[in-house]
Each structure stands twice: as C-alpha cells, then as structure tokens.
C-alpha cells in the first residue's frame, strides 16, 4: 500500500510531538484524560494538516489547550491535577535528597497558583517553549505573554516563600543567608525563574 506525502508528514509530526502533547495534557489535566486529549489533538491535526505550521509543537499544544478548555471535565481536571501533585509530593522528606525536596517545594507552590499561571510556567519552564511559542499556545501576543509570565513567576516565588513548613529558619535558612538568598526562597524556584527569563 502506497503512503501519501500527507500521511508521511502526519506520521513525522506525530512521532516528533506525541510525547510532548501527552506531557502537556498530564501537566494540565492528569493522566486520566491525557490519552483522550492526545487522540483528539492529533485528530484535529489530521483534519487540518494543511494548517499545521513548522514547527508543529506550539500549534499542537494550542489545539490540546482548546480540547481541554472545551471538555466538560473541569472538576475531573482539578481532581486529576491535585492527584498528580499529591503523587509527586507524597514522598517523606527524610528519605530524599535535598534537590528533590526543593523540587517538591516548587510543585507544592505550583499547586496553589491559578490555572493560568500554572499553564504559562509549565509551557516555558517544563516544556521549554520560548515565550513567543508559548504565546501562540495560549493565544496572546508575545509581549502579553512576557507580562503574564513575569507575574506568574512572582506569584510562584511568593507561594514558595509562604509554603507551610518553609520558614527559612535553621540550617537551610542560614545557608540561604550566607549565599545571599532571601530566607525561605528555595534555590529551585530561582532556577525555574532564570529558565523563564
């Protein structure tokens, strides 16, 4: 059976982007609906293959975002996200290395943010999109995205500073003071902030 150029192109896009779209869906809605979001996203991509630009990932993430927004599962999405964060943060702190503890602090802080802030931080810091590409996903101008990103980053830093049990006291607080960091600010949060600049 002969493969058409459109089928070849679609297969190449699917192979290159499927995992990224799935990871985005998990980060926004949890594993329970991620496969369905991926299926619907690539069904749209197949129907509108002529509209898919190169690179395809920002366009596909925009479609996935619309699929999530249009679904009737807002409560399921919130519960799924809470479940995912719970899975990521449920490990006892005494059994893990300091860098993992810092990552967990960031995840806990992320869970307190509004969904719009989480989405922008996830797109830029976790999925590695440039602000101009993230702007395409959320449907705004690059300048507006940068403003939203700056505000989201500030809210993340505040959330990490006020997280329960993160007082900045003791050995960690002393080390932060010696390194010039504000007490209570986790180094991992700073790293994420730098990545998003």
**165: DSSP letter:** T
Let me know: does 140 contact 148? Beta carbons within 8 Å.
Answer: yes
pLDDT exceeds cutoff 70 at 189: no
104 and 49 co-located in one domain: no
Q: For residue range 108-126, what is the model confidence (pLDDT) as tens digits?
A: 888 888 888 888 888 888 7
Mean pLDDT, range 132-157, rounded to an integer:
89
Interatomic CA distance for residues 25 and 100, integer angstroms: 23
Instruction: Name which of 129, 110, 109 is nearest 24 in CA terms.
Output: 129
Let me know: does 129 contact 196? Beta carbons within 8 Å.
Answer: no
98 and 180 co-located in one domain: yes
pLDDT exceeds cutoff 90 at 29: no
63 and 101 co-located in one domain: no
Q: How many domains does the chain have?
A: 2
Interatomic CA distance for residues 94 and 85, integer angstroms: 19
Cβ count near 53 (within 10 Å): 10
What average pLDDT is seen over the chain? 75
Written as one string, the DSSP assignment of 64-97 is: HHHHHHHSS-HHHHHHHHHHHHHHHH-S-GGGS-
113 and 54 co-located in one domain: no
pLDDT band at 17; cut points 50, 70, 90: very high
């Amino acid at each position: 059976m002969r493969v058409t150029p459109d089928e070849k192109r679609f297969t190449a896009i699917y192979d290159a982007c499927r995992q990224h779209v799935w990871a985005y869906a998990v980060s926004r809605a949890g594993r329970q609906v991620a496969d369905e979001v991926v299926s619907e996203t690539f069904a749209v991509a197949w129907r509108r293959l002529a509209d898919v630009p190169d690179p395809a990932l920002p366009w596909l993430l925009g479609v996935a975002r619309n699929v999530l927004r249009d679904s009737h599962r807002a409560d399921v999405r919130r519960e799924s996200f809470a479940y995912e964060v719970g899975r990521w943060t449920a490990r006892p702190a005494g059994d893990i290395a300091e860098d993992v503890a810092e990552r967990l602090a960031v995840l806990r802080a992320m869970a307190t943010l509004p969904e719009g802030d989480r989405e922008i931080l996830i797109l830029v810091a976790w999925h590695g999109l440039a602000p101009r590409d993230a702007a395409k996903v959320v449907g705004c101008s690059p300048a507006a995205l940068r403003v939203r990103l700056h505000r989201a980053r500030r809210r993340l830093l505040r959330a990490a500073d006020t997280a329960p049990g993160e007082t900045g006291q003791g050995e960690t607080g002393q080390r932060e003071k010696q390194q010039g960091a504000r007490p209570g600010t986790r180094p991992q949060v700073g790293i994420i902030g730098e990545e998003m600049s």
